[in-house]
Structure 1
Amino acid sequence: MSERASVTERLQALLECRGWPCLLVTDETRVRWVASVHKPLAVVVVAGREAWTRDVLAAARQATTAAVALVGELPTSRVVSALHAGTDVVITDSDHDDEIFARLLALVRRTSAAHDPGVRYLQAEILRIDLWAESATLDGRPLNLSPTEYKLLAYLMRNAGRVVPAAQILGRVWGWAGGDGLNTLRIFVGRLRRQLGDDARRPRFVTSVRGRGYCFAAPVVEQGDEGAGAVRANEQALLLDSVSRLAEATMTCSDAVSAAQMIVASLVEEGTTDAAAILRVMNGRLWLLAQDGLSRAWESAMDPGLPLESSYASVYAARTKELAQFSRMSANRPKYSGTAALLSRENLDVGVFMPIHLGRHCWGSMGVLRRSGQPYSAATLSYFRSTLAVYASHIPRYANSCSSTRGTADEQIL
């Protein structure tokens, strides 16, 4: 987070070149949302105006137990104030890049071991790890994992469905910077696969992607202490609050297009997703009403509308009235070849497409996409569905808003 673009760009480049993905926000409202929903290992605040910095630090500390670092050239009084406000460390931005990264790495290594009190188990088919006891079982049989093997397995499972770069794994599990230790990583992955009974040629759990890193391929479910699916209470509260605000805001819209624009802009701005689009069925095609986070080239490619063919995930959702989801576009290219072609230059690898229901019929669909490779949580998917329900409830008021340009009212639904 920052008001100072030059320092922010430097820190982002510093962290991302070492395999640490970053999400940038610029105000206390968004940091509260991002810290709750995206569950970062660390929040790095670049010091700006005193009041702004104080508000952001307070929001970050209220929203997450992750490490909070403040970066800037500050007088002693502001350093003391920041530490009292919940900052874990204050780093001088004039320090060498290697020193800044080493300080952040030490901070994350020390604080990331703390478990999430709402989630105890990670379950993937017959594999289960206990985050509190730092142990694992396979089909009920305890696994004899070394501490490093356990940390490696837990880190991969927390990033299930996403290809994690080798350098990032080495940084988070071993605390090593750069690409040093690649051979060590290969050895430990081999040991872990043997413990899990995984075949390297046809892996069930841990897959390798040549030149990129490793991926935990099986779906992972978070469970609480009693075995039920656990979702953070503050995340639920924030989602419900967002739905309420959207419901009030869309009441002021006079047509389907302006309401769609408001919804997709809100989803992207609050950090729930990186891109969103709402489409409508008209004249035997699916037409774009509004989008945010996608390029002009993509928008131009959508101008002719999409034929109602199932090679498009958005069309599949509209025609089948079911959710269409993928966690890796490359793996789903054969099924959604049309969508893959449209998104080939957008660098978006995770997507969910949902039908917009109007009674028993489908009026259109909404797609949400992200770059991180991490699938959307169950709570976030519920939030998307609730948002669409709010939008659909207003559609009767918008009945004639688009029919004059692309079809009659009888041609608007499937």
Structure 2
Amino acid sequence: MFRKILITALMIVAPFAASADRIKDLAAVAGVRSNPLVGYGLVVGLAGTGDGNSSLTQQSMQSIISRLGLETTASNLDAKNAAAVMVTAEMSPFLKPGQVMDITVSTAGKAKSLKGGTLLMTPLMGADGEIYAIAQGNLVVGGLGVEGGDGSSLVVNVPTVGRIPGGATVERLVETPFLESEYFVLNLHRNDFSTSNRVAEAINNIFGGGMALPLDGTSVRVRAPADPGQRVSFMGMLESIEVEPAEPNAKIIVNSRTGTVVINGNVRVAPAAVTHGSLTVRVNEDVNVDQGAAVVAAGDNVIVAPGDPVVTPDTNIQVDQPAAQAFLFDPGISLSNLVDAINAVGASSADLVAILEALHHAGALRAELIII
């Protein structure tokens, strides 16, 4: 039965409108996700740019050497050519043991550069504490750091972070409910009841009624084929179904740090009048300095001697108050009219934010105002 439905679905998916979005662009399958991994390791082979006398790195070197059958103490080790590092990776879903993935290596101590280093075997653990991969290899570092004898230095990019393409080998499979679960659950990237309902309707129109059920504004449950061999092909067709998403909620996003304002196309304004004007007061404070004089009379002789300077304040006040510019919003004004009206009065980004906030507090802005 499922095989016939799959063949029929292949013929129905194609004629859908090209303007619609695919389900794979609107939602993700629950349980099918990447898993972050992290580990602590040691990079060796550095050209004197390592951690130096860091006790953490010395202890790490001692631990590794002891596991190789040699005995030494941390105080006898010099870590100027080694660095303690943190290793991170994203394990993609369905990766099998033996497959490889890229890793990122970052210094955890005083190392100035990882250029030319080699990461020693490092176990990578998941959130449950289990080891899922083993990392090792030569680092690729895009940065450069140079230091002179007089203390001068030059740093290009970030030499303390490097990558190893294919540097980790998967050792354990992460279990997913894809093959065992009776249902697939599609989680929308954006919570919307209308879009959730449309996704379920589009699936039911192709595969038959009762195949999909919207659980809430985010999740849609889809009955999965009982045969595990049909699940991959079924999911491939399911993700290719095109759905016209519902229009998003009216929102205005304001970045208060950069002055950026983003207004989506569903914003409406109730009848309102806005007056935009500014009062500018300029005060220029200056002083006039005159040379003072002292007059001394001695008989018939009059002597004029230089005296203390005379300082006279000179204040100039100018008031510039241009005529306030007013504009009226009619009922149900659209986004383009709103922007045109505000731009017509020469409002800056700060003025625009002030006008939008005032409209929002007045109850005339039919949108959610978000300040970030």
Give your verdict on TM over 0.5.
Answer: no
Structure number with the higher strand fraction is: 2
Tell which structure's C-alpha radius of gyration is larger.
Answer: 2
Class of the TM-score when normalised by the shorter of the 2 chains: under 0.3
Where relative contact order (Cα < 8 A, 6+ residues apart) is larger, the structure is: 2
TM, length-normalised to structure 1:
0.20
